[in-house]
Structure 1
Amino acid sequence: MFVQPLEPVADSLPLSALVAALPLVTVLVLLGAVRMKAHRAGALGLAVAALVAWLVYGMPLGQTLSGAAQGALFGLFPIMWIVVNALWVYRMTVRTRHFDILRRSFGRVSDDPRIQALVIAFCFGALLEALAGFGAPVAISAVMLVALGFDPVRAAVVALVANTAPVAFGAMGTPVVTLAQVTGLPLDSVASVVGRQTPLLALVVPLVLIWLVDGRRGLRETWLPALACGLAFAAAQFLAANHFSAQLADIAAALAGAAALMLVPSARKPADEAVRASVLQGVRSDDLDHDDPRPEIYRAYAPYALIVAVFSLAQVPPVKELLAKATHSFDWPFLDVADANGQAVGANVFSLPLVATGGTLVLVAGLLTALVLGVRAKDALREWGGTVHELRFAILTVVSVLALAYVMNLSGQAATIGRTVAAAGAGLAFLSPVLGWFGVAVTGSDTSANALFGALQVTAARESGLSAGLLAAANSSGGVLGKMISPQNLTIACAAVGLAGKEGDLLRKVLPWSLGLLLVMCLIVVGQSTAVLGWMLA
């Protein structure tokens, strides 16, 4: 048995923490300063983590490699298994042109560009985040806004800012699933706390979007639809995350937000021509005037309805129990690790949920989608292969980052850093979201930031007497606000609207909003760590 040491360097916790931080520093410097591709930076960071574990912490080489292999497997299944199948569903709608039908359907909801921004960037963007994540919502929402006549810069900024509240539950809950795994906390517990933080952002973001589109006039004239949309989105996300399914949180929130928006009479009123003239300064796409048959519109919405139906059915107790029987748990080979207190760590036993996992359920919904949309089996298989090819670098990144996280967690590196960070005491509650924000700003992924810093947050929380679930959730909730300033997302936004090379201009426009909303999240977490807002977690 390997027992994790906490002070392997000269029996000094600060010195040990400096050495333990080398893998993280390697990744962040390679990404932020050297501008290396994420999958390469992750692989080099993994190599550094393995060397520190073996040479400094004394973890046997075989156990170090075994821990890395377990992290890599978890990165493939269930994490990327969810992402691949979710993006596959979207690609089939593009192939059959039902995505274009959906886009035109949204364009006809209202001719008010302020309402269109809410429907497309906030509501539909959240739906895309639920299915695909990894930058797809920003690119697709921005392109759709440009097609409606939005100026490219404004479209990109709106898409970036809108991609905040849904990120923690994106790609069918991938970030919170990862957070639960690397921290050892129950998924329901982690999702519940995140579901009591990010909905508060959803109350604010629609109003921010209206301001970005049309300033004071927009807020004065459309604050009610924006508030209704935010309230419905927040309520649905809270209910799904706390009482139903974290994987469905964004889908439920997106549909509820859009429905509430359309129920407000002022949202359906024709827009003043002065508003349209001042906001729509781009070139409107001609294909928006094309009329689509009603049956085809229903088919365009069918994939999302099927996903909701499949996940809802999977939550029915008898079905849930049946699916759980396919889960296999076994002793992970060549791994026998105990923490500093001599307690065996959870990674010694590995659970493989073959059917009761989001990726498999999305696959089932995808097969049904292929039938509904009339996609031939050969074409559906080709699209699935194309999805894997499109995500190949993202797969390598997630696999390497999770392998790195497992090595750091199992060797004791994360525990050493966590105990050192705990010296911040009560101030840790304020700093916790900042760490997540920084992680996402650098890596471009809430999933990666949770893998890197999740265990560290939990260790620091336990050492400082704060709630482990609160700080773990704060890592993810703070992280969503770093998404809009990550180089990855800025590049995607610029490429989507034809502003290649203008990433710096976009950064200057979205950075104040990122920092302002981060401050709000920090204050929320501080409040939840005290009696002021502690009742929210009861």
Structure 2
Amino acid sequence: MTFIQNFTAVGGSLWLSAAVALIPILYFFWALAIKKMKGYIAGLTTLALAIILAIFAYKVPAGMALMSASQGALYGILPIGWIIVTSVFLYKITVKSGQFDIIRHSVLSITEDRRLQALLVAFSFGAFLEGAAGFGAPVAISAALLVGLGFNPLYAAGLCLIANTAPVAFGAIGAPVIAMEGPTGIPAVEVSKMIGRQLPFLSFFIPFYLVFIMAGWKKTKEVMPAILVSGISFAVTQYLSSNFLGPELPDILSSLVSLIALAIFLNFWKPKTIFRFSAEQELAATSTAAVKLPNTKKSEAVHYTGGQIFKAWSPFILLTATITLWGIPAIKLALGGHYVGTNVILKAVNAVGHAVTFMPEVPLVHNKVFSKAGAIPIQAFYKIELLAAAGTAILIAAIITKFIVGISWKSWMATFGETVNEVKFPLITIASVVGFAYVINLAGMSTTLALTLAKTGSVFFPFFSPFLGWLGVFVTGSDTSANVLFGNLQKITAESIGMNPVLALAANSSGGVTGKMISPQSIAVACAAVGLVGKESELFRFTIKHSIFLVVIIGILVWLQNSVLSFMVP
């Protein structure tokens, strides 16, 4: 049985068909934003609704719709979910072994100035955690650290949410960018390059914006040299790594370079005055008790050697090394079973990689779907790539870390089990959202929406394309999910109006990062971390204006890149 996509399947009308295609997306927004449904329940019910509409409204054979959902769900687990599991696992090993306390101390002992602490902790260190683990870890940990230092809890949470804007697109070892490759067919490396020509402008601006929010213009000018060191080092590294190394490492490298550069700079330069919040001691005492933070004064009295600090950071240095190795084209091809050459070692790796890479055809779908009568059939494979997956590189770093930090295999395995248990529901959410994306793509529903959206024309769509990502991250809490949800729609719309699809996909991800700070999930995590549970609306009011301001900036940049700055598109 074959299926020919019909983009006006409902009553022969594009508008009616678009209205039906929009139903599961609106339902998903409603389920999360209004009904406040748990993410995995919202994802599963949205997937079920999409399958029903695909079958009865778009006339997709039932078996075909189910198999397409399974293809998407598997892609959500591997490689996307595998990256998340191993990233969080490596982070938890550092916590369980006590090395994370040393990492924290090494960051917080550099300066007493609150403005500079915000740059080090909220911006650089938070970006590092985003790149290594993602999820709520960056905001939760960095916000709790700032509260322990004496920051107002609301300010700490809000500043960390805003600071988290810069690294989100490349979070969890590039998962948001990697996720788009499956449903859109556009190489993640190309999207990475384009994002790397958008976000560095925002990354350069964010350190200034953070300090300005905290202290006003006069106090911001006092630390402008430090702001420039922080922003420029991060932005330049983000551009270089995203354009020449791929999507996996920009956050890790940019945050480390920014952190080290600022730390070194502060050894030679100090602000004229030390900035502190009024009555911060009282706030710190209250907040510290609320979130059960370790005693700050006691931890400040501890001194660590350079060797101890290097050992504490070594798991993430290893992560950087293994991901870099996995990103080398010859190695990546060998691990995937496609390397052809004279190198004996790579040939051996190639044989192993070929043995553990599986690409079986998707039953009922492979070569059974046509975009129009007479068109070439669409291929569909389950891609089960084990060795070449970035998550496997992170797992190897975690194995080596086990020997460096000296934990037992029993503790190592127990930590892995805890990690899987902690992320099981987010994994279900991702699998169901990716499955949903595959179903609406198969049915032609995303194409219907894109054709409708394309009527905004080449003049307006480039500006509004980042707002799709912004909206997607707002309701899902994930740039990865938003990219999967709207990636194909962005691609098809761009192609229909003459816009480069790589620019549109990058716009979705870059716009999405500005929605992270108002996502209900992010707000909830931040409030829980600083003892503000029940005051989520206050934090939302704090961040909403900044979110809108930043997404407008991205919209203007994308519009310019589509016109007068088109030379920036790879």
What TM-score range do you get, normalising by the shorter chain? over 0.9
Give the equivalent residue in structure 2 for 1:119. 120
Written as runs of structure 1 = structure 2, the 5 A alignment for 1:493-532 is: 493-530=526-563, 532=564
Looking at structure 2, the residues matched to 185 and 353 of structure 1 have their Cα atoms a distance apart, in angstroms, of 18
Give the equivalent residue in structure 2 for 1:334. 364
Looking at structure 2, the residues matched to 160 and 342 of structure 1 have their Cα atoms a distance apart, in angstroms, of 50
Q: Is the 8 A contact 2:222 2:271 kept in 1?
A: no
Shift of 1:308: 1.0
Give the equivalent residue in structure 1 for 2:385. 353
Written as runs of structure 1 = structure 2, the 5 A alignment for 1:108-507 is: 108-265=109-266, 268-269=269-270, 272-273=273-274, 275-276=275-276, 278=278, 280-281=280-281, 282-283=283-284, 285-286=296-297, 287-325=299-337, 326=353, 327-335=357-365, 336-340=368-372, 342-344=374-376, 348-425=380-457, 426-507=459-540
Looking at structure 2, the residues matched to 18 and 345 of structure 1 have their Cα atoms a distance apart, in angstroms, of 27
Shift of 1:84: 0.5
Looking at structure 1, the residues matched to 472 and 156 of structure 2 have their Cα atoms a distance apart, in angstroms, of 26
Shift of 1:128: 0.5
Amino acid at match of 2:521: Q
Indicate the larger mover: 7-16 or 263-272.
263-272
Q: Is the 8 A contact 1:142 1:496 kept in 2?
A: yes
Looking at structure 2, the residues matched to 434 and 101 of structure 1 have their Cα atoms a distance apart, in angstroms, of 40
Amino acid at match of 1:112: D
Q: Does 1:19 align with 2:33?
A: no
Q: Is the 8 A contact 1:214 1:279 kept in 2?
A: no
Looking at structure 2, the residues matched to 525 and 93 of structure 1 have their Cα atoms a distance apart, in angstroms, of 39
Helix, strand or coil for the counterpart of 2:276?
A: helix
CA shift in 2, pair 1:266/1:157, >3 Å: farther
CA RMSD of aligned residues (A): 1.7
Shift of 1:263: 4.1
Q: Is the 8 A contact 1:111 1:271 kept in 2?
A: no
Helix, strand or coil for the counterpart of 2:383?
A: strand
Amino acid at match of 2:208: L
Q: Is the 8 A contact 1:26 1:44 kept in 2?
A: no
Q: Please, what TM-score do these two structures have when normalized by structure 1?
A: 0.96
Looking at structure 1, the residues matched to 251 and 277 of structure 2 have their Cα atoms a distance apart, in angstroms, of 33
Shift of 1:74: 0.7
Looking at structure 2, the residues matched to 195 and 441 of structure 1 have their Cα atoms a distance apart, in angstroms, of 22
Looking at structure 1, the residues matched to 460 and 541 of structure 2 have their Cα atoms a distance apart, in angstroms, of 29
Amino acid at match of 1:513: H
Amino acid at match of 2:273: D
CA shift in 2, pair 1:427/1:154, >3 Å: same
Amino acid at match of 2:122: A
Give the equivalent residue in structure 1 for 2:4. 3
Please list the CA deviations of residues 448-477 of structure 1 after superposition, one character each: whole Å capped at 9, or x if unmatched.
111111111111111112111111111111
Segments of 5+ residues of structure 1 without an aligned counterpart are: none
CA shift in 2, pair 1:405/1:277, >3 Å: closer
Amino acid at match of 1:474: A
Q: Is the 8 A contact 1:337 1:348 kept in 2?
A: no
Segments of 5+ residues of structure 2 without an aligned counterpart are: 286-295, 338-352
Helix, strand or coil for the counterpart of 1:292?
A: coil
Q: Is the 8 A contact 2:107 2:120 kept in 1?
A: yes
Looking at structure 1, the residues matched to 400 and 532 of structure 2 have their Cα atoms a distance apart, in angstroms, of 38
Looking at structure 2, the residues matched to 317 and 13 of structure 1 have their Cα atoms a distance apart, in angstroms, of 43
Looking at structure 2, the residues matched to 381 and 108 of structure 1 have their Cα atoms a distance apart, in angstroms, of 33
CA shift in 2, pair 1:345/1:429, >3 Å: farther
Q: How many residues align?
A: 536
Shift of 1:267: 7.3
Amino acid at match of 1:304: F
Looking at structure 2, the residues matched to 484 and 433 of structure 1 have their Cα atoms a distance apart, in angstroms, of 15
CA shift in 2, pair 1:316/1:459, >3 Å: closer
Please list the CA deviations of residues 420-462 of structure 1 after superposition, one character each: whole Å capped at 9, or x if unmatched.
1100002111111111101111111111111111111111111
Written as runs of structure 1 = structure 2, the 5 A alignment for 1:37-116 is: 37-116=38-117
Amino acid at match of 1:331: E
Looking at structure 1, the residues matched to 80 and 538 of structure 2 have their Cα atoms a distance apart, in angstroms, of 34
Looking at structure 2, the residues matched to 135 and 96 of structure 1 have their Cα atoms a distance apart, in angstroms, of 21
CA shift in 2, pair 1:379/1:5, >3 Å: same
Q: Is the 8 A contact 2:223 2:271 kept in 1?
A: no
Give the equivalent residue in structure 1 for 2:293. none
Helix, strand or coil for the counterpart of 1:349?
A: coil
Amino acid at match of 2:439: V
Helix, strand or coil for the counterpart of 1:246?
A: coil
Indicate the larger mover: 86-95 or 185-194.
185-194
Amino acid at match of 2:199: T
Looking at structure 2, the residues matched to 162 and 270 of structure 1 have their Cα atoms a distance apart, in angstroms, of 22
Shift of 1:342: 4.7
Please list the CA deviations of residues 263-295 of structure 1 after superposition, one character each: whole Å capped at 9, or x if unmatched.
43587427735x235484432722232223443
Q: Is the 8 A contact 1:131 1:171 kept in 2?
A: yes
Amino acid at match of 1:30: A
Q: Is the 8 A contact 2:110 2:266 kept in 1?
A: no
Helix, strand or coil for the counterpart of 2:248?
A: helix
Looking at structure 2, the residues matched to 347 and 53 of structure 1 have their Cα atoms a distance apart, in angstroms, of 19
Q: Is the 8 A contact 2:107 2:121 kept in 1?
A: yes
Q: Is the 8 A contact 1:222 1:266 kept in 2?
A: no
Please list the CA deviations of residues 282-313 of structure 1 after superposition, one character each: whole Å capped at 9, or x if unmatched.
32722232223443222110011001111222
Please list the CA deviations of residues 389-427 of structure 1 after superposition, one character each: whole Å capped at 9, or x if unmatched.
111211111111111111001111101111111000021
- Quote the sequence identity (%): 41
Shift of 1:160: 0.6
Looking at structure 2, the residues matched to 86 and 262 of structure 1 have their Cα atoms a distance apart, in angstroms, of 25
Q: Is the 8 A contact 2:99 2:312 kept in 1?
A: yes
CA shift in 2, pair 1:279/1:68, >3 Å: farther
Looking at structure 2, the residues matched to 204 and 313 of structure 1 have their Cα atoms a distance apart, in angstroms, of 31
CA shift in 2, pair 1:234/1:320, >3 Å: same
Q: Is the 8 A contact 2:196 2:243 kept in 1?
A: yes
CA shift in 2, pair 1:347/1:135, >3 Å: farther
Indicate the larger mover: 310-319 or 451-460.
310-319
Amino acid at match of 1:313: L
